[in-house]
Amino acid sequence: MTREEMEFLTQIALAVREMAPPDRQNMIDRAWQKLESSAAVPDESKESSWLVEWPISDNLPARWWHPGGGWMIDANKAIRFARKVDAEDFIANTRLVGGIVATEHVWLNP
């Protein structure tokens, strides 16, 4: 379960608990504790990030944005974003053009 999903469920549980009669609040608390304890632990064997990629073309090799060096052919040197929306916001706010998209990449940890 992602952090965002867990935060969303927490908000729902708190809202439901506030509306529940007192005798049901304890039941909601116990159910929530079970859910929290069973939530999946993040997989540390890999890292997932969103990169700013250009171009989207079969004719040219992909390149990734590095703020200090511009477009790089090595994805390992690119700026990494935890969320797609952050990479897309970066693209929109820096006015990069030419088929640039946010792409998800996965690195396997040793």
Percent of the chain with pLDDT over 90: 27
Check residue 56 and give its pLDDT: 66
Q: Do 102 and 84 touch, CB atoms closer than 8 A?
A: yes
Other CB atoms within 10 Å distance of the CB of residue 54: 19
Lowest mean pLDDT of 1-5, 7-11, 37-41, name the range: 37-41
40 pLDDT more than 80: no
User: Helix 22-38 crosses helix 3-19 at what angle (to 10 degrees)?
Assistant: 170
Check residue 87 and give its pLDDT: 92
More confident residue, 41 or 76: 76
85 pLDDT more than 90: yes
What residues pair up with 105 in beta bridges, in sequence order? 49
Check residue 57 and give its pLDDT: 72
CA dist 69 and 4 (Å) reads 32
Q: Do 40 and 30 touch, CB atoms closer than 8 A?
A: no
- pLDDT grade, residue 15 (50/70/90)? confident
Q: Do 86 and 56 touch, CB atoms closer than 8 A?
A: no
